Amino acid sequence: MNTKLRKILPKAGFWLLVTVIVLFAVFPFYYAILTSFESGSGLFQVNYLPESVTLANYISVFKGQAFGHNIFNSVFVSFMVVALSLLLGVTASYALARVKFAGRGLLLLTILSVSMFPQVAVLSGMFELIRGVGLYNNMFGLAISYMMLTLPFTVWVLTAFMRELPRELEEAAVMDGASPWIIIRRVFLPVMWPAMVTTGLLAFIAAWNEFLFALTFTLTDDKRTVPVAIALISGASQHEMPWGNIMAASVIVTLPLIVLVLIFQRRIVSGLTAGAVKG
Amino acid sequence: MANVVLKQVRKRFGPVETIHGVDLDIRDGEFCVFVGPSGCGKSTLLRLIAGLEDITDGELSIGGDVVNDIAPKERGVAMVFQSYALYPHMSVFENMAFGLDLAKHSKDEQKARVMAAAKTLQLENLLDRKPKELSGGQRQRVAIGRAIVRKPRVFLFDEPLSNLDAALRVQMRIELAKLHEKLNTTMIYVTHDQVEAMTMADKIVVLRDGRVEQVGTPLELYHYPANLFVAGFIGSPKMNFISANVAQISQHSVTVKLESGKEVSLPVDGSGLAPADRVTVGIRPEHCSIADQDTALFTGTVEVVEHLGEAGLVYVRTGSDDLFVVRVAGDTAIKNGETVGVAAAEQDCYVFDGADMAKRRLAVDNAPLKAQMTLN
């Protein structure tokens, strides 16, 4: 009896721990979805199972403000950030991983240290810069400022990945008459897909969820991105917080991320295991 | 089609010089093998010719043109790498056509050339496959095909067979030799395997520590090694060395006294030697035999007998640190622990002076060797 208990107890403890972790991680999302389908006074009653399901919140989000426009802005900025960071990341990582030059290590460290500063620390300086080049209240201004968040890890991850690619692969291309740009585009890029998808996705998420820069560098409703728009959703009166609308909007903007991850899931997994077995 | 000439070529990596002034003349259509132990600079030398490394000093010319500062693709050389280095995302066809595509050849031209190469290498049925779907030997052939389609003036091979298993290696060795015969293009081949060097080369370049030790045909190197290093490197199992003292020198022979006390008269050119000089006598395992104690050069205890089937290798402990290897018939009855005598014909012995340089052997009589030597 005692030995049986001794076998079961650790197992039970393990599963209890798993349950607690899963609950802790998933509950906020579950509650957001639940709330988004409720309306009126139902919003303020605590319940853990759906009672009344209504799409009213979803409809009113689009009716109350230019939410469709905000989504478009977010998509536009995020895709631009992904494209720019991957382009700069890949070219920079080729140089950092493949070309020997003085100060390479220092440069890598500098790039890393950029990501150490909290956004608030650079906010005022960045604001001056953005306004100085005339990109205030402009999607391009946002995209460029987001580079500060995405480029450090993009460059680092791609550099690490590029270092692992066999030297002979590059030399074979050199013998075939390929220039560095051709090597990057036609030999390395296809091989680096998994790393690009992973870093690209992370950059997309970072840009999609960014709040502080988006709030500071935009002025008018039609230039705002989704996170700012959600934060600024207001109710009928000053004292009413439209939780239903906020939750509905949050669910809407989370969906694209989930879809993206699902689409690229295979690529990410194959990217993680690619180096494990030599082809 | 082109010859390759190196004049005092040097390579420095930072303060470290790895290639110390190499002079070499590889004729058009020749199959030249760079051989040497790992770290001897043979791969570096090949990469200098390929253009993957810059030449620090000296002059390299291919087909009469100095190419020191010319990009690899304009040198007219193609290289086959040790790891094959196929593009993993491209099919066999695309792998072979990549260089042609970059050189802006028309699609028809690309297809014609790839098809011709595929036919030569028996890759016709594999053109749509990706490299990961191929066996090692097939990948090797694709790598060679990628070099062929560009119709280079010089082929460079960097230990191309070292990743293959033994049986496949022999097969690819023969295929490469046939390919060379067919294309008749200059080929430079790097290997650490002296068997590959001996079997494939028109000319062998033995390298050590970034210096050329000797250049010659396979049989020249076998029969007339320039020094102790080459003598030990060429031939398998490697040559046995025993020390001796010069007793007497005549016009056509040198008489040496072995440590066993035995005196033998060896037919080598004794100029530069003086009586009582310390020399090294080299005897190849295949030239030794087990003999009676009275006709033997020396005696020793058998430590190990290896049966290879067609032959046996007897390792005799002679009191010194090294084991002395004797190649005997495959059905030998010699057993461990026996005391045996080792004999060898005088004309099969090699003599090296105190500076490890070989003394010219005077009694070598070998028809193929003479044929090879008139070639040079």
* CATH number of the CATH domain containing B157: 3.40.50.300
Parent domain of B101:
4-231
Query: Given a cut of 80, is residue A196 above it in pLDDT?
Result: yes
CA distance A278 to chain B (A): 9
Bridge partner list, B279 = B244
| Beta-strand relationship, B154-158 and B77-80 | parallel
- Among B175, B210, B231, the domain-final residue is B231
Same-domain status, B185 and B284: no
Residue that is written with structure tokens 């005092």 in the block? B8
- Among B198, B231, B264, the domain-final residue is B231
- The pTM assigned to this predicted structure is 0.81
Residues in A touching B86 (Cβ below 8 Å): 172
- Alpha carbons B321 and B327: distance in angstroms, whole number: 19
What local confidence, expressed as pLDDT, does residue A278 receive?
A: 40
The arrangement of strands across the sheet holding B350-352 comes to B263-266, B254-258, B240-249, B278-283, B350-352
What local confidence, expressed as pLDDT, does residue B375 receive?
A: 60
Residue of B nearest to A165 (CA): B85
Residues in contact with B44: Cβ distance below 8 Å, sequence separation at least 6, in sequence order: B11, B18, B19, B53, B210
Q: Which ranges of chain B have pLDDT less than 50?
A: none
| Residue among A171, A178, A182 whose CB faces B52 most closely | A171
Same-domain status, B79 and B137: yes
Among B221, B212, B231, which Cα is nearest to B351's? Answer: B231
- pLDDT confidence of A5, banded at 50, 70, 90? confident
Same-domain status, B199 and B74: yes
Probe site for chain A from B46, B74, B77, B79 (most A CB atoms < 10 A): B79
| Mean pLDDT across A241-264 | 85
Q: Does B85 touch chain A (CB under 8 A)?
A: yes
What local confidence, expressed as pLDDT, does residue B27 receive?
A: 94
Phi, psi of B4 (to 5 degrees): -125, 125
Structure tokens at B352: 């090296």
pLDDT tens profile A92-134: 999 999 888 889 989 999 988 888 888 888 899 999 999 999 9
Query: Given a cut of 80, is residue A237 above it in pLDDT?
Result: no
Probe site for chain B from A176, A183, A192, A270 (most B CB atoms < 10 A): A176
Same-domain status, B204 and B241: no
Q: Judge: B85–A166 Cβ closer than 8 Å, yes or no.
A: yes
Same-domain status, B82 and B208: yes
CA distance A78 to chain B (A): 29
Half-sphere exposure at residue B61, Cβ-oriented, CA atoms within 13 angstroms: 10
- Alpha carbons B286 and B348: distance in angstroms, whole number: 10
Residue of B nearest to A193 (CA): B89
- Alpha carbons B40 and B19: distance in angstroms, whole number: 9
- pLDDT confidence of A1, banded at 50, 70, 90? low
- Among B203, B231, B259, the domain-final residue is B231
- Alpha carbons A224 and B118: distance in angstroms, whole number: 59
CA distance A169 to chain B (A): 5
What local confidence, expressed as pLDDT, does residue B216 receive?
A: 93
Same-domain status, B209 and B236: no
- pLDDT confidence of A34, banded at 50, 70, 90? confident
- Domains contained in chain B, number: 2
- Report the range of poorest mean pLDDT among A62-66, A215-219, A272-276, B363-367: A272-276
Query: Given a cut of 50, is residue A277 above it in pLDDT?
Result: no
Same-domain status, B25 and B54: yes
Taking a C-beta distance cutoff of 8 angstroms, is the pair B263, B249 a contact? Answer: no
Same-domain status, B70 and B175: yes
Same-domain status, B40 and B106: yes
Same-domain status, B290 and B365: yes
Residue A188, amino acid = F
| Mean pLDDT across A2-8 | 83
Q: Which residue has the higher pLDDT, B56 or A269?
A: B56
Plot region of A177 (φ>0 → left; ψ -120 to 50 → alpha; else → beta): left
Same-domain status, B203 and B260: no
Burial of residue A51 (CB within 10 Å: 0-12, 13-18, 19+) is exposed
Same-domain status, B181 and B195: yes
Q: Does A151 touch chain B (CB under 8 A)?
A: no
CATH of the domain at B282: 2.40.50.100
The arrangement of strands across the sheet holding B211-216 comes to B77-80, B154-158, B186-191, B31-35, B203-208, B211-216
- Domains of chain A from N-terminus onward: 66-232 (1.10.3720.10)
| Mean pLDDT across A133-141 | 90
ipTM entry: 0.83
